[in-house]
Amino acid sequence: ENNDVTPQPLHQAGLGAEQANRFLVEELSAGSASDQTTFTGNFGKQFSFFVELLLPDEKWKKDLVKEQVTQALLKVMKDIFITETDTISLLEIAPAILLRTSPCFVYRERNKQYEEVCRKRISNEKYVDRAMQTLNEASKNKQIQNNLMLMVDAGLHVLFIVKKMKPNNYAETFVESSRSAERMCCFSQTFSLSVISSCSLKDVDAVRTGLNTQSDLELIRLSEKFQYSLLLMERSVLRNSFQCQLASYRQLPLVKPKEVEEGEGRTETSCSPALECLWRFSCELSIGCSVSCMAWNQKNPDLLAVGYGESDSRNQEPGLVCCWSIKNPRWPERIIHCDSAVTTLDFSANSPGQLAVGMCDGSIAVYNVQIHCFPILHIGPVWQLRWNKQELSFTGEEKVEALFSVGADGRICKWFIINGGLDCTDLMKLKRSNNTQRKTGQKPEKMAECGLSALTPGLCFDFHPIDSNIYLTGTWEGNIHKCSCSNSHQFLETYKKHFCPVNWITWCPFHPDVFLSCSSDSTIQLWKQDCPRPLLSFSSNHGEVCEVKWSPRQATVFGAVYNGHLEVWDLNSSFLDPVIVQPAAPGLKMTSFLFASLTDCVLVGDSYGQVTVYQMQNLRVGECRQVQHTNISDKCLNIWGLKGEVRSKLEFKLLKVLYFL
Amino acid sequence: MSEVEEIMKRILSHKGVEGVIIANTEGIILRSTLEDQSTVHHVALVQPLLMKAKKIVQDMDPEDELTYVRLRTEKNEEIIAADKDYFMISIQTPSL
């Protein structure tokens, strides 16, 4: 009956110590065995119990201490530090990076095994599927506050090229697009990677063309520099194939290609002088037009201007001027279309970009070739007749350059640039010498109507290399007149020998008194300035001589071009025969030629529109730059003796004296 | 623009030229005459080379600029014309 199940209080205030002690021990032992989970909850009580038992009189103190602590806590500000513990790594498996080519059989095997296991897992009894559940404890919300940090999004730029070969061999390429910089108030450093994942090449193409249109606009914007790059590219591509020829043009040692060394045996090492063809300047535009004149640029020795046009054809075809560069034999640097056939051209020495072009219909145009060729000045036909030739000359005193021209109307004019146009003053009128019309004198007004009555057409002229006041001019009648810029009424001297139109006159660049003239009577005459008779004459039966020019490098070498062939003479080696004779290709007529100023090359223009560059080989290089007078005089004497020409003693002595100068 | 096309045609028609690729500095291909795969390959390989070359030039002389790089190999030659905004590669098998 005394089933009193009310739990005994643990703390009995009135009991004695011993009883309490026994009681406590029992309780403790009982408590410790059973309920361990609530240990923490009762800890406080038991602790106080302990304290109470052992030191019953300290109970008061404890209470007091507790109270004191709480009061102190309220007053004192205490800092509480919250720190993070170090990161504890629970599991770390480092990745293994392997090259595709490295031996990785071990790993492959392991992968295979693993795959096997995975496959067999379903039916295998070793592996059991079991579900797990994690305890989700109640979450607590905590509010924090801090200053706002401004973020800026900076996109990065990564080019991924990942190629995955699918079974049907399509390649996927991941190309990332342009960057973007936006202000976003969120996490920074986003990769703006737009993945163009396409499974077919067509899609890639579509995307690319989309990009293309945008970048094409870029192209237009960058066009100038781009053009320059293209130009560089073209030149270097060409240089690769023309390397041999360019090297021999510039007289550099040749690098022989490997195959050629074994194959060809160069048996012919001929000692006789010959012309070796290096390359041809020709393009589609120029094919078919006949080359009429060529000129080197004074400043840039690699630049050549070529004028095309048939000067004696009835149908007035438009002419063409092409500026070629040695570095590009396939396409001219500049192309100028002219209204009528071009008969002559010349580069200015003072302003090397200016090219003066004279045309068949009597007009002159001056082009600036540096800025894509538009004519600075163009005049309407000044003369009503056909032939024109101009040269830019350099009057030494004032270093002023003026344009001179000689025309079919017999006037030699000097041109000035005034107010955007050209104005001319007459330097000389070429009067007919063997005419009764001499009495009439000069009638400037009549010139426009009947051009040929009092004056004879001038075909060529050349200024003295040293004294630029003096010039020579050759006429249709065959006379050569020496004139001066200061005297416009009289000729200083007249040289008569040719009986056909004089086609070309040129002073010798090394000897100041010697000049050459050639004419349609198929002769070339060598004259000395003060001597009314030619010193030497080179005749042939090959037809009219179109042009004759001195070589700029060797004093005794000159060349002459006939319609059918080119001749190079060397006065040092032979008087009677040319040293080199180069026949024209069948069906072509050679129309013009030019010596290269820095190398041993000759350029020949023909009626098909090609300019061929030849290199002169085995031409004995002149030991000295001066005409070897003594040798020539001896040879002259011999030849005259052989030919039996009658020469007056006076002339003979004069010549001897002159030659021994 | 037509002049550009003309010049490109002329370059391509020259003997030995295998292809011309034009791309901008980011590696986006603007024009190419080779097939896509090899174009992308070329551009991806040339671009870091160009960057390095540009850095070299600028390091040595800050006012200088890279214009032109030529890679001559046994079999062919790659001519790369470079600029700030683009670069152009042309591949040629020269006769030498």
- Output the pLDDT for position A203: 41
- Output the pLDDT for position A28: 52
- Output the pLDDT for position A318: 77
- CA-wise closest residue to A570 among A538, A529, A532: A538
- Mean of pLDDT values over A176-196: 30
Which chain B positions have a beta carbon within 8 Å of A208's beta carbon?
29
Q: Do A241 and B1 touch (CB under 8 A)?
A: no
- Output the pLDDT for position A488: 73
- Output the pLDDT for position A636: 45
> Which residues, at least 6 apart from A534, have a Cβ–Cβ distance to it below 8 Å?
A495, A497, A525, A526, A527
- Mean of pLDDT values over A641-659: 43
Helix (H) or strand (E) holding A115: helix A105-120
- CA-wise closest residue to B9 among B31, B29, B24: B31
- Output the pLDDT for position A496: 83
As given in the structure block, the two tokens for residue B65 are 């600029």
As given in the structure block, the two tokens for residue A195 are 């993945």
Q: Tens digit of pLDDT for each residue in A121-164?
A: 777 777 777 888 888 888 889 888 888 888 888 887 776 665 54
Mean pLDDT of chain A: 66
Give strand pairing partners of A347.
A355
- Output the pLDDT for position A44: 43
Does residue B27 have a pLDDT over 50? yes
Contact A478, A456 (CB under 8 A): no
Calpha distance A162→A175 (Å, rounded): 9
Q: Tens digit of pLDDT for each residue in A372-404?
A: 444 444 333 323 222 333 333 443 333 455 666
Which chain B residue lies closest to A255 (C-alpha atoms)? B96
Q: Tens digit of pLDDT for each residue in A423-473?
A: 666 666 666 654 333 333 333 333 333 334 466 777 777 777 777 677 788
Q: Tens digit of pLDDT for each residue in A31-79?
A: 444 444 444 444 444 444 444 444 445 555 555 555 666 776 677 777 8
* pLDDT confidence tier of residue A418, bands split at 50, 70 and 90: low
Q: Which of B2, B3, B8, B10 to mutate to test the interface with A (most CBs of A within 10 A)?
A: B10
Calpha distance A330→A314 (Å, rounded): 31
- Output the pLDDT for position A2: 66
Helix (H) or strand (E) holding A215: helix A201-221
> Hey, which bits of A314-464 come out as E strands?
320-325, 334-337, 342-347, 354-359, 364-368, 375-378, 388-395, 400-407, 411-418, 421-429, 458-463
Q: Do B4 and A331 touch (CB under 8 A)?
A: no
* pLDDT confidence tier of residue B76, bands split at 50, 70 and 90: confident
Does residue A204 have a pLDDT over 80? no
CA distance A514 to chain B (A): 46
User: Which pTM was predicted?
Assistant: 0.55
Number of CB pairs < 8 Å for A and B?
99
* pLDDT confidence tier of residue A207, bands split at 50, 70 and 90: very low
> Alpha helices of A264-312 — where are they, by DSSP H?
none
> Hey, which bits of chain B come out as E strands?
17-24, 29-32, 68-72, 77-82, 86-92
- Output the pLDDT for position A219: 62
Neighbours of A627 (CB within 10 A): 18
Residue A75 phi, psi dihedral angles, 5° rounding: -80, -45
- Output the pLDDT for position A623: 37
Torsion angle of the four alpha carbons A260, A266, A270, A274, in this order, in degrees rounded to the nearest 10: -20
Residue with more model confidence, A16 or A582: A582
- Mean of pLDDT values over A631-657: 42
Neighbours of B46 (CB within 10 A): 21
* pLDDT confidence tier of residue A519, bands split at 50, 70 and 90: confident
Helix (H, G, I), strand (E, B) or coil at B89: strand
Which chain A residue lies closest to B72 (C-alpha atoms)? A240
Helix (H, G, I), strand (E, B) or coil at A559: strand
- Output the pLDDT for position A130: 83
Distances (CA, A) of A631 to A102, A254, A326, B24: 83, 36, 38, 68
- Output the pLDDT for position A515: 86
Calpha distance A158→A178 (Å, rounded): 10
- Output the pLDDT for position A390: 39
The 3-state secondary structure of A396-409 reads CCCCEEEEEEEECC
- A171 at the B interface (CB within 8 A)? yes
Q: Tens digit of pLDDT for each residue in A279-320?
A: 888 887 777 778 888 888 877 888 888 888 775 555 567 778
- CA-wise closest residue to B33 among B14, B50, B15, B9: B9
Calpha distance A608→A584 (Å, rounded): 11
- Output the pLDDT for position A193: 32
Helix (H) or strand (E) holding A484: strand A479-484
